[in-house]
Structure 1
């Protein structure tokens, strides 16, 4: 058997040092765990002020979060990457066909999202053809309690699990902490109906409707949602939206 050696990697001719340092920190956080500003500075051989700026940028882009003890750990983006990639890939692959059918039926943008802790990330999206439309959210990370898919997935938790999820203060100072009493009331309504209705909650002028995607064990693993400009939303249209959304959720769940 002939073994072919892999070519040695050479640094890019026009590499940007700050980008390289940020990527190194992201890898350290994901592979080795939390670290302080001083530890980051020592690992990179840079000043503490530089390390702090790099970590702050990672926090801003959801690659890291700051703990109460001022250490930094992986954020939503890397937490999702740390999940079994085959699971995320399987959900996305199962979703794309039903999403296209959903968009063909309603001519509104459709998304699939997954939850990691208190946040959700959009892993698949198909835009509609209308000139006035909600754009793709693929790749975006949002607080779970403010997003349609997040509400759907939070509704799958028990009251005790929900309390535990929000027991500690937000790791990121910009995170908005929900009113748990109000949130529990909303989630009970979602459990009864199976539908989450978001009336401009996460974005002004946008209405979204969501439904759970389940695996073979009946566990909620994702959410499928339809987003539309508020000017096209009406109670009379909800029956058609919910019917198409339910068909999409069932199709994805059956594939999984």
Structure 2
């Protein structure tokens, strides 16, 4: 039996217990955390703000908190992530062979986009492996196509939330208006672009990947040196991307829901 240390620090203990709640529940509301830990909501907010700041938690569009990248978790369970990755790999490898460019698979967690898997191009000049990287969703092509699945009011709420403030992803009104307009265009076109928004010399093109229920569960994106980006927008390459995505979605027919 574990014995409580005589020198235990209450704030540290509460923070660790909050981490356990995130780990075990998968989703957590501040109200529920405060009740469970028997602390004031304002105290729960301060503790959660530090977890967000250090990457142990992220806030989603419903203002609930999820395990963050520092916990080695995304918006869904690890087993589901692994199955998603396994099912998507054959078409990712084929897409890389078809186009000669690096292929990534990512998921969205709140305002962040997390790269689950990469099939790296064999070209000498290529974009490297992004596996495990966590970037602002509104800057990445994969993150933007998943944000485009949300309605405008939800997007505004997400990027003006306390969690967005803490993580550094909050947007002011002009930037938010630009994002809302861009997402409308993405919904119309069915794909999103990132032209050197996350790294100089690197651009990407992404599409949503839908599960058997029709909900977008991930994004598939081609990453290339910016010198070759215009080629990605050409009809033959776009056609290949859409077709590989279609075949990938057929492979996901038995995937099930993320919280299954």
TM-score of the superposition, structure 1-length normalised?
0.71
Matched with 2:216 is: 220
Matched with 1:172 is: 166
Instruction: Pick which of 182-191 and 195-204 moved more.
Output: 195-204
- Specify every segment of 5 or more residues in structure 1 that has no aligned partner in the other structure, as ranges: 1-23, 40-51, 67-71
- Specify every segment of 5 or more residues in structure 2 that has no aligned partner in the other structure, as ranges: 1-15, 38-46, 60-64, 253-260
Cα RMSD (Å): 3.1
State how far apart, in whole Å, the 2-side matches of 1:205 and 1:237 are.
17
- Counting only pairs closer than 5 Å after superposition, residues 115-130 of structure 1 correspond to structure 2 as 115-130=108-123
Match status 1:247 vs 2:243:
yes
Matched with 2:106 is: 113
1:228 is paired with a residue whose SS is strand
Matched with 2:189 is: 193
Matched with 1:184 is: 180
State how far apart, in whole Å, the 1-side matches of 2:80 and 2:243 are.
22
State how far apart, in whole Å, the 2-side matches of 1:162 and 1:77 are.
24
Matched with 1:204 is: 200
Instruction: Pick which of 175-184 and 135-144 moved more.
Output: 175-184
1:146 is paired with a residue whose SS is coil
Change (3 A) 1:114 1:250: same
Matched with 2:5 is: none
**Paired residue total:** 212
State how far apart, in whole Å, the 1-side matches of 2:219 and 2:83 are.
14
Change (3 A) 1:114 1:236: closer
Structure (1 or 2) with the larger CA radius of gyration: 1
TM-score of the superposition, structure 2-length normalised?
0.70
State how far apart, in whole Å, the 1-side matches of 2:215 and 2:235 are.
25
Instruction: Pick which of 167-176 and 244-253 moved more.
Output: 167-176
